[in-house]
Chain A
Amino acid sequence: MTPDEIRASVLECLGRVAPEADPAAIAPDVPLRDQLDLDSMDFLRFMIGLDATLHVAVPEPDYPELATLDGCVRYLAARLPAAPA
């Protein structure tokens, strides 16, 4: 997957947790919990969504790496097969 495809999937999963959020308005480098007012149940539902969509089960100790949108893309890109050149 390309980084753009991963970003789109992440935004889709976030949209299911925070449907009122405008994906275009999400700052890539600001903690998602602060921007979208996510609590731990929301964040867990986000993790469940990523697992269902991208088949990446993020271990709890790695959660801090997914604090921002950019962090999510970076973390997932390292664990998903890259798009063919």
Chain B
Amino acid sequence: MTERRLEEFRMPSLGADMAAGRLVQWLKAPGDRLARGDVVAEVDTDKGVIAVEVFTEGVLAKILVEPDEKVPVGTPLALIERGEGAPAEPVVPPPPAGAPAVRERVRVSPLARRLAAELGVDLATVPGTGPGGAITREDVEAAARARPARPAPTEPAEERHARMRQAIAAAMARSKREIPHYYLSTRIDLGRAMEWLAGRNRDRPPAERLLAGALQLKAVALALREFPDLNAWWVDGRAVAQPGIHPGVAVSLRGGGLVVPAVHDADRLGLDALMRAMHDLVARARAGALRSSELSDGTITVTSLGERGVDAVFGIIYPPQVAIVGFGRVVERPAVVDGAVVARPVVTATLSGDHRASDGHRGGLFLARVEQLLQEPERL
């Protein structure tokens, strides 16, 4: 006889600023089999509607919270029946490092990728029917059609926006109250990087071009391998180095506010894959189709305000993270090269660090490593 046991699937915490969420709809029904990473429900948070994943295998046994109910973080939403012999594990942990890399190997036609970005379809959830399991345009269109229509929001846009501002205010006020920030900045010569980028993009169609932001993000991710004290969470009075490098990328929403979805294992992605991940996250952030793990897994934040003409940004750390990296605009400045004054494209990179987890010396070494990596863009 097989022993069955029930586990609670709870309202996840999708960031330090989330206290409760409203269940929008269930995407699975009692009796449905669940695999790790399956999206089972949509939850409305202060940061928009999020697709909530499950990280256990089993069968959805019973739904405990009905659509439109708002419940605090940690409230059981459903019961999942697991079979005997399944490894004991929490029901809502972050996915293991490496899971996104598996998704990265999925073959996707360029047309399908572009369409998915336009429609806000998460390619990780699309079964491929093309040669070798490749995801085709038809697969993406079918996934978009099959997506259940989301109930229209009843809350006016102004109130949603006000709620998001309140959530950001609460998280940032907590950060400033609890975290002793230190701030560093360094000016980085991007001459080689920009030259390499222009050559790299010259003969490629727009869909395959890289942005300078991808180089900066990759340089940060690679540097973090040597600075685990900055790729950490502050938990129970101590810094806990995180096993994966999942930088959260600040994405401004077109209606106002921002979200910071994480790029999983950014240090292990090639530049092309990293750029695709950034395209995908921005499109889904704005379409309201982010996954819960993308909002809960960030191990550091990278923000860029250079597009708005800002020279440097000194960010506020997003708890439980212990650091935030900022990039300003790329601008030509006079520099002395081989004894001559020449114009060079430069960017100001900054680090706001949690002094409980690291100190300025480590932060300075980290920024120096980022600068060093950006001098060899072909190796990123």
Contact = CB atoms under 8 A, between A and B. Distances in A.
A37 B256 CA distance: 11
Nearest to B197: A60
Interface in A21-68: 37, 39-41, 44-45, 47-48, 50-52, 57-60
A20 B207 contact: no
Nearest to B330: A40
Contacts of B205: 51, 57
A10 B5 CA distance: 57
A51 B282 contact: no
Nearest to B286: A19
Interface in B198-234: 198, 201-202, 205-207, 209, 211-213
Grouping DSSP codes into helix (H, G, I), strand (E, B) and loop, the A interface class, with mixed when no group exceeds half, is helix
Given A40-B211, A44-B211, A59 B255 contact: no
A40 B206 CA distance: 12
A40 B213 contact: yes
A20 B254 contact: yes
A48 B254 contact: no
Grouping DSSP codes into helix (H, G, I), strand (E, B) and loop, the B interface class, with mixed when no group exceeds half, is helix
A48 B206 CA distance: 5
Interface residues of A, number: 19
B24 to A, nearest CB: 20
A60 B203 CA distance: 10
Interface of A: 16, 18-20, 37, 39-41, 44-45, 47-48, 50-52, 57-60
26 contacts: A19-B254, A20-B255, A37-B254, A39-B307, A40-B307, A41-B211, A41-B213, A41-B278, A41-B279, A44-B209, A44-B211, A45-B279, A45-B283, A47-B206, A48-B114, A48-B207, A51-B205, A51-B207, A52-B114, A57-B205, A57-B206, A58-B206, A59-B202, A60-B198, A60-B201, A60-B209
Interface of B: 114, 117-118, 198, 201-202, 205-207, 209, 211-213, 252, 254-255, 278-279, 282-283, 307
Given A47-B206, A48-B114, 17 more contacts: A20-B254, A37-B254, A41-B278, A41-B279, A44-B206, A44-B211, A45-B279, A45-B282, A45-B283, A48-B206, A51-B205, A51-B206, A52-B207, A57-B206, A59-B202, A60-B201, A60-B202
